[in-house]
Amino acid sequence: MGELRVHSALVTGANRGIGLGLVQHLLALPNPPEWVFAGCRDPKGQRAQELQKLASKHPNLVIVPLEVTDPASIKAAAASVGERLKGSGLNLLINNAGIAKTNSLDTETLDNMSQLFTTNTIAPLLLGQAFLPLLKKAAQGSPGSGMSCSKAAIVNMSSIGGSIKEMYLWEAAHCVAYRCSKAALNMLTRCQSMGYREHGILCVALHPGWVQTDMGNAAGYTELQKLASKHPNLVIVPLEVTDPTSIRAAAASVGERLKGSGLNLLINNAGIARANTIDNETLKDMSEVYTTNTIAPLLLGQAFLPLLKKAAQENPGSGLSCSKAAIINISSTAGSIQDLYLWQYGQALSYRCSKAALNMLTRCQSMGYREHGIFCVALHPGWVKTDMGGTLEDKSRVTVDESVGGMLKVLSNLSEKDSGAFLNWEGKVMAW
């Protein structure tokens, strides 16, 4: 196997996941590039910490501010890279930056389709155009015939999700906007290969595999599918919790499956987190996290209310309980205004505010739905060893099995007096 030898390389979306991995491996080559440029939207932000650490150890790593959906930012990045190269060319442009949404065919929107097409398809086009002079210079400066990544190349990170023939995991996740954007990226790669061939520039689309990253896990349905194949009573329901249309469709689908009976238990577990500090928190992140962590449980409660009421009516006897009809909102100790848990480790403003608001929502639901016989509680699952839980090692951390087992035991023992409470996975009362 030949060794990749390049004088310079640029990786977009380099602050985490595959992009960060590419940067790390390029730097670790036996003969690393003289220059590795890491494109990143916010080089000084919380999400670029690993990249910042790398740059402090490798003087040949340059973090380049780059918003791939902004033509002005792309032009500025190309100019910055050109200045650093001082007359030489860029050998390798890796278009890795990308986003995904899990909308179904019925709930896909104009905004999502446009946003993903812009990021996943148009951005690689514009980046190719902007860096073309530097790529051409690299090709001209490399002796010998033929094309290769060591000479001059554009590598577009695509996906099997963009395969029109395979339609990989369609039953698990439609992801229409993502699939279409990656199919279009594959076509763009072919067009670039045709148009830039005369300049000696190699162009290729690469599927990186189903990688354990934030994006890869967002559509991580393999384990769920395995479970469903073994348990006929497990039904996978397409649901984008931030999309009211998707929520209504999910409620209708569940109602059809129940055939007139009610839904006993609604567990609002979906959630996201951002590690921003008080200094770099943004309107976009605050809104996105609040929408997912607070508004979504509100809308889900509204949509499934008829089924929950039906379940409560079907269960005779007084009192509220999880066995009758209940809404369980998975909260967090990070939402405790009194404790401000682990502030020094992670400020995470948007996450903390959204969970504090979720606790208030739980109290409101407990007051508003009590007359319908519906129990409501907020549960802190513990600091669980998951992707969202982070990598900090701490003896207080629990496994998923420990957390889930504990929460189910707690739920089985709750009674009407606990409705509206904020408890942890061991049943202890948490401070608001």
- Give residue-wise pLDDT tens across range 181-207: 999 999 999 999 999 999 999 999 999
CA dihedral 211, 215, 218, 220 (to 10 degrees): -10
Alpha carbon 9 to chain centroid, angstroms? 26
The CA distance from 269 to 37, in Å, is: 38
> Which whole-number Å values give the CA distances from 120 to 125, 193, 417, in the listed order?
9, 18, 51
The b-or-e profile of 12-47 (16+ CB within 10 A means b, else e) is bbbbbbbbbbbbbebbeeeebbebbbbbbbebebbb
Phi, psi of 65, deg, nearest 5: -60, 125
Alpha carbon 201 to chain centroid, angstroms? 33
Torsion sign across C-alpha atoms 367, 370, 371, 372: positive
Residue 369 is predicted with a pLDDT of 93
With 0-12 CB in 10 A as exposed, 13-18 as middle and 19+ as buried, what is 7? middle
The pTM for the full model equals: 0.59
Sheet of 422-424, strand order: 265-268, 326-330, 375-380, 422-424
SS (H, E, C) 370-414: HHHCCEEEEEECCCECCCCCCCCCCCCCECHHHHHHHHHHHHHHC
**Which residue reads 């690689």 in tokens?**
124
pLDDT at residue 2 tops 70: no
Within a 10 A sphere around the Cβ of 99, how many other Cβ atoms? 18
- When mean pLDDT is compared across 114-123, 161-170, 245-254, the lowest value belongs to 161-170
Are 77 and 64 contacting, i.e. CB atoms less than 8 angstroms apart? yes
Ranges assigned E (strand) in 121-191: 153-157
Q: What percent of the chain lies above the pLDDT cut of 70?
A: 92
The CA distance from 379 to 402, in Å, is: 14
Residue 391 is predicted with a pLDDT of 43
pLDDT at residue 392 tops 60: no
Question: Considering only CA atoms, which of 261, 358, 247, 364 is closest in space to residue 306?
Answer: 261
Res. 222 pLDDT band, cuts 50 70 90: low
